[in-house]
Amino acid sequence: MTLASPTDVKTARTAGLLPAGHPAVKQGKVGVMLINLGTPDGIEFAPMWRYLREFLSDPRVIELNKAIWYPILYGLVLTTRPKKSGANYARIWNREKNESPLRSFTRSQAEKLASTLADHANVVVDWAMRYGNPSTASVAQRLVEQGCDRILSFPLYPQYSATTTATANDQLFRALMKIRNAPAIRSVPPYYDEPVYIEALAHSIERHLGTLDFEPEVVIASYHGIPKPYFEKGDPYHCHCLKTTRLLRERLGWDEKKLITTFQSRFGAQEWLQPYTDVTVEKLAKDGVKSIAVVNPGFSVDCIETLDEIGREAAETFHHAGGKNFAHIPCLNDSPEGMAVIEALVRRELSGWV
């Protein structure tokens, strides 16, 4: 038996559709869940420790055997890294809301998407984090309690990787295992080559470069790296990143020397995807390049990796090596261009449901 949505239990019981004592039933709504990577709840040691433990315990993120990795994680990483990471987060922390920019931007994206989807009265938009809060499980439960029997999951990663998109989907399905009346699920696919995404990136770059008092000799498209063995096992991330850069280069009318691809944020001793961003930035300066800009096409919103690692660390590296002009081009965030991408993909994937 399927009830119309939303169903008033008292009316349904009066009509003989529900037996006495039947719990409240809500059905017929469609949930849209924006999922980002995650963020600590605070910059102090304890919340940083909790966040890093959850993140670095994910077997898709660290593919080492637990017998090897856990002694390193608990014996070294979690005793030293929370303090260092907390200091980095402190530099970019949204003091007004007492949260990271990633959380602020993701919430804003969800609020703006809800407004643009107001023409669909049965659509409920929410947002969640793979690691940290609001947790994927809590948001999935909240959507179900609001009557969502279908959920469109949107992992906010343009390029697919098992370390990001896959683990976000893993967490959602883990949550559904604890829900008896689990909703139907769709997941927005990676959008690394979607025309609306490429156009949004190009427009954002053009607009930002137009505000500078210098013209970059080189623009670096810096993506979060993954260990090289993950790529060798079949992760398509590297190919997705290179295609994004190629399409962006074609749209901007630049050559291969003007827009280049690098990879950042490596962690641990093993080799990661190359060329490395920090090494490239330093080499450009030493080779006599005086002006560069860096854009992060793999990040849907600005976060610790873009605002601090690029905006501060990469800039310092470039200047220290002899460079003069450095600019970080903001992520799409909740800008009109960024929201155009999210709305276009959501409306497409909701087809047949609304």
Residue list, annotated binding site for Fe(2+): 224, 305
State the CB neighbour count (10 A cutoff) for residue 299: 25
**CB-based contacts of 270: which residues, under 8 Å, 6+ apart?**
227, 228, 229
Q: Annotate 245-291 with DSSP letters as a single string.
A: HHHHHHHHT--TTTEEEEEE---SSS-BSSSBHHHHHHHHHHTT--E
Structure tokens at 316: 């310092």
CA–CA dist 331, 295 (Å, integer)? 7
Classify each residue of 121-152 as buried b or exposed e, where b means 16 or more C-beta atoms within 10 Å of its C-beta: eebbbbbbbbbbbebbbebbebbbeebbbbbb
Structure tokens at 85: 């990471």
Residue 264 and residue 277 in contact, taking contact as beta carbons nearer than 8 Å: yes
Q: Which residue has the tokens 């991330």?
A: 237
Indicate the residue type of 32. V
